Structure 1
Amino acid sequence: MNQEINDLIIQIRNNNENSFEMLFKKMNKSVFALAISLLGNKSLAEDVVQETFIRILTKSETYADGTNGIAWILQITRNLCLNLLKKKKYEVNIFEDIQIEEFSHINNQISEGKINEFDIALERFLLKEALLKLNENERQILILYAVSGLKHHEIADILNIPRSTERWYYISALRKSKKFLSK
């Protein structure tokens, strides 16, 4: 997938509008997941998603062909989030306004009658509580790995931390989450 993202960025640099749309479709969920994990606010995260793709359009000439396109995009997202947090001194309240409609697999189960609204509300509450038990690095790493599908070395590069530290945070996040959810 990374080669495909790399090719799309190169095509965007060459003013191919269809490539931009394809890149957006492939990367918007990952960009949103990272933004929400850093900002904890849906509307701010959506703004960062838009700004990220604007930056991709305007800065595609700075992208070095053959580098990690996914990491480049997520680094833009991370920098925008950190700048926003610095600028506004925004207090993070994780996932306070994520709506259940954003989880399409859950919507499919509702429409098929496999789960009910109460079960969804309970699972959402438990997930939110489990994520709140994690520190910022653990939360970011868990979301980047689970939602974006990034490899551990890519996450370490994006967060600018050693690979061993990234793995330690990931394992710690899994242990804390498992411990909380098994209660």
Structure 2
Amino acid sequence: MNKNDFKVTIFSLSERLFPLVVRLLGDKTKAEDAIQEIMIKLWEKRNQLENHPNIKGFVFLTARNYCLDILRKKRILVNDGEIYLNLLSDSNEHSYIESQELNEIIKEILKKLPNQQREIFIMRDLDGYEFMEIAAIMELKITNVRVLLSRARKTISIALEKTYSYERGNY
């Protein structure tokens, strides 16, 4: 794989990697550094990647594994880490406060989800990854990804309904 092929095939994915890496590492600066390191590792393996059947999946898997290695070295548990989300925002001050409240409620619900469900939900519904990409990253079959996503959405829906039913006095 020459420089131009690498640039078109692999380096072009760096922007799509960014949300995943930021979420895992929890810091934009660390994520930028990590993406540079990941690209260097992939450049060193460029000749092996040329014949890989799923280059895109391999790139995402490499990024995820690199981030998990960094977290393990620092002895940070991904499950206990802060979930960095900004799901909703509004310029109206009243709506802004409500959206911040909703963000906090959803963060708490996401913390209670099983790890795989949480990861898949965030990758699909918040980061916008395709099912094939998620399957490659998580090393699962696409059908498993769909099932886990469905379960996560159902759990979140039920938890939100309970929260709002409580707030309305319908408990």
Q: Quick check: TM above 0.5?
A: yes
* Aligned CA-pair RMSD: 3.3
Higher relative contact order (CA 8 A, sep 6+): 1
1:74 aligned residue: 60
| Structure 2: stretches of 5+ with no match in the other structure | 164-171
- Structure 2 counterpart of 1:149, which letter? Y
Q: Give the Cα separation in 2 of the matches to 1:70 and 1:178.
A: 32
Indicate if the aligned counterparts of 2:124 and 2:134 stay in contact, CA closer than 8 A.
Answer: yes
Q: Give the Cα separation in 1 of the matches to 2:39 and 2:103.
A: 29
Which segment is superposed worse, 122-131 or 61-70? 61-70
- Counterpart check, 1:42 vs 2:27: yes
CA spacing shift, 1:45–1:31, aligned 2, 3 Å: same
Candidates 168, 174, 177, aligned match of 2:147: 168
Please give the residue correspondences for 1:71-110 in structure 2 after superposition, counting only pairs within 5 Å: 71-92=57-78, 93-95=81-83, 98=84, 100=86, 106=89, 109-110=90-91
Q: Deviations over 1:85-141 (max 9, x none)?
A: 33222133132xx475xx7x84xx53xx59743133223212312221212111111
Indicate if the aligned counterparts of 1:34 and 1:140 stay in contact, CA closer than 8 A.
Answer: no
Shift of 1:79: 1.3
- Higher Rg: 2
Q: Deviations over 1:145-181 (max 9, x none)?
A: 2224212x44233322344433332221111111122
| Structure 1: stretches of 5+ with no match in the other structure | 1-12
Shift of 1:67: 2.8
TM-score when scaled to structure 1?
0.66
Q: Percent identity?
A: 24
Runs (4+) of structure 1 exceeding 6 A deviation are: none
Indicate if the aligned counterparts of 1:33 and 1:143 stay in contact, CA closer than 8 A.
Answer: no
CA spacing shift, 1:69–1:135, aligned 2, 3 Å: same
TM-score when scaled to structure 2?
0.70
